[in-house]
């Protein structure tokens, strides 16, 4: 299947700083990318949907000014957690939709720890 | 709204045992149903899917049948291996490609 990478795989930051997570589709063009958040022993919760070249659509309860999403190209989407706080500590997962295969491919996730 | 309920784990089995993970759903509309698997340290991978009632998805010895009358999509495998140890997620999607996931079931297979 197609490959999606995320960088970094894990990051530790101080409270109040901003953290950027990159999501890349390596061998396909992802016109749509999704960002999820996964708490320990819980399911993935969709945060937002981003389409290349347009603004992201956020799910209810997700602060768009807190979680900035940019999808500037068909192979790259970024999630920036602004002014991070300990409650933002979580596992963030992205996926890209391969329109040709009509399937989503997931990245390996980024573990964010805010001290 | 759309939601997925799956059997809570963890599940621990011996090699060659039969595995069933129950999954039921509620949906406003006619969903496609999926099982994803997450191996340790890796991203989620699509295991199988079914897009309409009575469809059976199958892959790597796993099977699941889309049962509209019981709103279920239970995952089964007749003889598990150690390499099947992973977290399994049931999910659904309506036409907008957004996935709604169940809580995940951790399966551990002992040699």
Nearest CA in chain A to B99: A46
| Separation in Å, CA B110 to CA B7, B13, B42, B107 | 20, 6, 20, 10
Considering only CB atoms, which chain A residues are within 8 Å of B36? 106
Predicted confidence (pLDDT) at residue A47 exceeds the cutoff of 80: yes
CA distance A27 to A3: 6
pLDDT in tens, A58-101: 999 999 999 999 988 899 999 999 999 999 999 999 999 988 88
Residues contacting B42, CB < 8 A, separation 6+: A108
**Helices H / strands E in chain B, number of each:** 0, 12
**B36, B39, B97: which to substitute to probe chain A, counting the most A Cβ within 10 Å?**
B97
Average per-residue pLDDT for chain B: 94
Considering only CB atoms, which chain A residues are within 8 Å of B100? 46
pLDDT in tens, B44-85: 999 999 999 999 999 999 999 999 999 999 999 999 999 999
pLDDT band at A48 (very low <50, low <70, confident <90, very high): very high
Helix ranges restricted to H, chain B: none
Q: Which of residues 78-107 of B touch A (CB under 8 A)?
A: 89, 97-104
According to DSSP, the β-strands at B75-77 and B19-21 are antiparallel
- Residue A1: the pLDDT is 66
Contact at CB, A42 and B44, closer than 8 angstroms: no
According to DSSP, the β-strands at A44-51 and B23-26 are unpaired
According to DSSP, the β-strands at A10-13 and B19-21 are unpaired
Considering only CB atoms, which chain A residues are within 8 Å of B103? 41-43
Predicted confidence (pLDDT) at residue A13 exceeds the cutoff of 70: yes
| Separation in Å, CA A72 to CA A50, A55, A77, B96 | 10, 10, 7, 21
């Amino acid at each position: 299947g197609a490959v999606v990478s995320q960088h970094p795989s894990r990051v530790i930051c101080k409270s109040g700083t901003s953290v950027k997570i990159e999501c890349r589709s390596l061998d396909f063009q992802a016109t749509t990318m999704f960002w999820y958040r996964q708490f320990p022993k819980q399911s993935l919760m969709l945060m937002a949907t981003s389409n290349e070249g347009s603004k992201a659509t956020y799910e209810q309860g997700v602060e768009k000014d807190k979680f900035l999403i940019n999808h500037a190209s068909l192979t790259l989407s970024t999630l920036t957690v602004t002014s991070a706080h300990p409650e933002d500590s979580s596992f963030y997962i992205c996926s890209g939709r391969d329109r040709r295969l009509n399937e989503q491919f997931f990245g390996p996730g980024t573990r964010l720890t805010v001290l | 709204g759309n939601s997925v309920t799956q059997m809570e784990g963890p599940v621990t089995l011996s090699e060659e045992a039969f595995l069933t993970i129950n999954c039921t759903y509620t949906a406003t509309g006619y969903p496609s149903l999926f099982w994803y698997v997450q191996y340790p340290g890796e991203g989620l991978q699509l295991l199988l899917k079914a897009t309409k009632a009575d469809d059976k998805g199958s892959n790597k010895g796993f099977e699941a049948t889309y049962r509209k009358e019981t709103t279920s999509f239970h995952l089964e495998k007749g003889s598990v291996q150690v390499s099947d140890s992973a977290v399994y997620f049931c999910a659904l999607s309506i036409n907008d490609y957004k996935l709604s996931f169940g809580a995940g079931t951790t399966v551990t297979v002992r040699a």
